[in-house]
Structure 1
Amino acid sequence: MSRNPKAAESFDSSRPDFSPYGFSCGLWAPTPMPRPDRHNEIEVNLLRTGSLTYLLGGRRITIRAGRLALFWAAVPHQILHWETTDPYHVATLPLAWFLACGFPESFASAVLGGELVTETHAHPMDEARFEQWSADIQSGDPLSEQAARMEIQARLLRTAMTSPQGKRSRSVPPNLSRADQIACYIARHYQEPITAAQIGEAVGMHPNYAMNLFRRTFGTTMIDFLVQHRLSHAQRLLVSTDDPIIEIASASGFQSLSRFNEAFKASCGCPPREYRKRNRLRETTSVVGKAS
């Protein structure tokens, strides 16, 4: 996302699959996408005018102006058609953050199940909210960003309370591809000591077949995907709480401190303690961090 809140971004077809956008909010131009995009974040869209049609997980879905809409962007999504010339608001929310918010099960399951979750009515204040969140996130001020995170969490909780998907009891729907079912299972259980055999059993596949299918589809292994989820969770806890590092390792799903330190340094370029020192949210208490 651009640091200029008035500049509209557009899809870069050369970006690698699953390259993260991070916690971001800004304006995007409605332009054709020559291929689907995938990134392991929740994407929230708000159109100011007209409509936008995606191919989402093989299904055509349309987003209309004024209605908050969100989906899990690890599911392939590609703009097919638009009836607007105005840039639209986009927020990307790391999956680990979304899962830590404690949204109702029916709502979280709908999002992780590959559905487009959308509200039935427009909320006139949403555009002003997006503009404020964009300014806060791009300000470089940790407290402003913290305020935006908390406000986004509250806004999505209202979506969970009012959207049709949030009101019903359901499990992951069967219209996900087999590979997406694996990714969904990992996203829901990465804090547990899960194995390839357990993942395969959960989605009704032989472990070897599941591993090969996942690699072919996502270009990475199930284990690497699992570890990245755990590391993202650990990063959030390191900068937002005072919890001891050994507790963070365990809470993130790592079975040993040595394995956590090894994986963290290989991915982040520094030990967990140094990462915390560099990225610590200034003047933010652990209580506030845990609520965001």
Structure 2
Amino acid sequence: MVGKIHPLSFDPSRPDFSPYGLTCVHWKPSPMPRPDHHSEVELNFLKSGSVTYLLGGKKTVVEVGKLSAFWAAIPHQIIDFTPDTVYLVATIPLHDFLNWQLPEYFVEQLMHGRFLSDISSDRSQSDGRLFEHWVEDLQAPTSVIEKVVLLEMQARLTRMAYNLTDENKGECFTSIAQSGLNKVEQMACYVAQNYTDKLTAAQISKFVDLHPNYAMSLFQKTYGTTLNNYLTQHRISHAQRLLTTTDLKITDIAVQSGFLTISRFNEAFVRACGCSPRDYRKSHKMTEGSRKRRA
């Protein structure tokens, strides 16, 4: 008999990029004082209500009854929800996800920070049951149960990916137009679109026509992190993607991610991820077969 399951909520004291591992839980939305970041692929299934994320600088709505997925290394933060919201969240270790050899288009979109929603409208009940099974299975999992859950997750995402034909690929992206963004959200969006450039706080504040000191203070008050930290988080996320999906040299990855020197890159990466870029690549690198398939 499975005991009563209590919904979890975001812990703002958790370290950045602290791993969740393989999980599936009932989630209780709450105002998030800062973005969360972790290397897993995250699945959301909303049974009722409404949840809005700020994901990679864009407002994004989770649709009721549709499986949604995104790479959670992209800074994501719940900024709005309704009291009647009931939803479940699953996290999949990145190395497992990458080794599944899902369709290239699907993987590339997730790894570039896109929020994907299944276009199917007739799988709400079965998806709800599937998530509930995962919640129960992963309360006290064995290695066999974890393997079964991963196989089921792989099969479900494979079905989702192959639903995306050329005609309906655009329908899987759910977001709110940027015209509705306030000054702080505009700054977040500007960072998300230009983080690989040599950005400064002065440039970002000029973009929204605010004094730099006021802009930085407003940003930190709203998101619970400094503008410079937010910029660094995006660069680290970009570096993670390159480390796991390419054979680029680490020095080249540092430059392409927006870092001016390799020493600054290494320092920021270790501080954010708890390991060096080289060790991160060893832990999350795709299998050789998967890499050849994507070449």
TM category, shorter: 0.5 to 0.7
The 3-state SS of whatever aligns with 1:47 is: strand
Once the two structures are TM-superposed, the CA of residue 48 in structure 1 deviates from its matched residue by 0.4
Q: Distance in 1 between matches of 2:131 and 2:164?
A: 19
Q: Distance in 1 between matches of 2:195 and 2:51?
A: 23
* C-alpha distance 204-71 of structure 1, shift in aligned 2 (>3 A): closer
Q: Percent same amino acid among aligned pairs?
A: 31
* C-alpha distance 130-162 of structure 1, shift in aligned 2 (>3 A): same
**Counterpart amino acid of 2:251?**
A
Partner of 1:149: 150
Partner of 2:28: 29
* 1:127 maps to 2:128: yes
Instruction: Identify the match of residue 243 of structure 2 among 169, 182, 186.
Output: 186
**Counterpart amino acid of 1:196?**
I
More displaced 10-residue stretch of structure 1: 133-142 or 159-168: 159-168
* C-alpha distance 215-109 of structure 1, shift in aligned 2 (>3 A): farther
Partner of 1:230: 282
Q: Distance in 2 between matches of 1:161 and 1:75?
A: 24
**Counterpart amino acid of 1:19?**
S
Contact 2:44 2:68 in 1 (8 A): yes
Whose relative contact order is higher, 1 or 2, with alpha carbons under 8 Å and at least 6 apart? 2
* 1:195 maps to 2:249: yes
Count, aligned residues = 228
Partner of 2:210: none
Which ranges of structure 1 fall in alignment gaps of 5 or more residues? 238-249, 254-292
Q: Distance in 1 between matches of 2:102 and 2:119?
A: 19
**Counterpart amino acid of 1:100?**
N
Partner of 2:211: none
The 3-state SS of whatever aligns with 2:109 is: helix
The 3-state SS of whatever aligns with 1:133 is: helix
Q: Distance in 1 between matches of 2:276 and 2:111?
A: 19
**Counterpart amino acid of 1:16?**
P
- Deviation >3 Å, runs of 4+: 163-169, 174-177, 207-211, 213-218, 220-223
Partner of 2:54: 55
Q: Distance in 2 between matches of 1:52 and 1:186?
A: 31
Which ranges of structure 2 fall in alignment gaps of 5 or more residues? 171-191, 197-234
The 3-state SS of whatever aligns with 1:26 is: strand
The 3-state SS of whatever aligns with 1:139 is: coil
Contact 1:8 1:87 in 2 (8 A): no
After TM superposition, the score normalised by the length of structure 2 is 0.67
* 1:177 maps to 2:195: yes
The 3-state SS of whatever aligns with 1:48 is: strand
Contact 1:114 1:176 in 2 (8 A): no
